[in-house]
Amino acid sequence: MSDVWVAVIVVGVVSIVIKASGPVVLGERRLPRRVEGVVDLLAPAVLAALVVTQAFASDRDVVVDERAAGLAAAGAVVAVRGHMLLAALAAAIVTASLRAM
């Protein structure tokens, strides 16, 4: 089975289980507060890591290339609370333009 399908199936199953876990496993009890505190921080940590690795990494090198300019454009859109798709569009346009030069 291809890499893509392995990832899709596993992530799909795990996501379904995660969402089902509330009603099925714990009923009306809640996670301990400290664990909730940690889980709350998962998304910010992982998303930030994804931002930097997708914008500044090329295989095993840290590089600053046209993607960095694209990220800056996206940052400007996000800073003025523009829609996230506009941020993505801005990034794509800036990066593509720089590459075309």
Partner 1 sequence: MVVGGAEPDAGAGGRGGPAAAVRHPAPIDGQDHASHDEAAGARTARRRAAARRALPFALAAGTFGASFGVLATSAGMGKVAPVVMSATVFGGSAQFAVASILAAGGTVAAAIVAAVLLNGRYGPMSLASAPALKGGRLRRALEAQLVVDESWALASRGDGTFERPTLLVTGLVLYGGWVGGTLVGVLAGGAIGDPEDLGLDSAFPALFLALLATQITSRAALSAALLGAALALALVPLAPPGVPVIAATAACLIGLRRNGRPA
Of residues 62 through 101, those in contact with partner 1 by CB under 8 A are 62, 66-67, 70-71, 73-75, 77-78, 83-85, 87-97, 99-100
CB neighbourhood size of 82 (10 A):
14
Q: What's the rounded Cα separation, in Å, for the pair 46 and 34?
A: 19
- Min separation Cβ 25 and partner 1, Å: 9
Under rule CB under 8 A, residue 10 binds partner 1: yes
Measured CA distances, 97 to 22, 54, 70, 79 (Å): 47, 19, 10, 22
Whole-angstrom Cα Rg for the chain: 19
- Min separation Cβ 61 and partner 1, Å: 7
- Min separation Cβ 65 and partner 1, Å: 10
Among 40, 64, 80, 101, binds partner 1 (CB under 8 A): 40
- Min separation Cβ 71 and partner 1, Å: 5
Cβ atoms 87, 77 nearer than 8 A: yes
Give strand ranges (E) for the chain. 57-58, 61-62
Under rule CB under 8 A, residue 53 binds partner 1: yes
Under rule CB under 8 A, residue 45 binds partner 1: yes
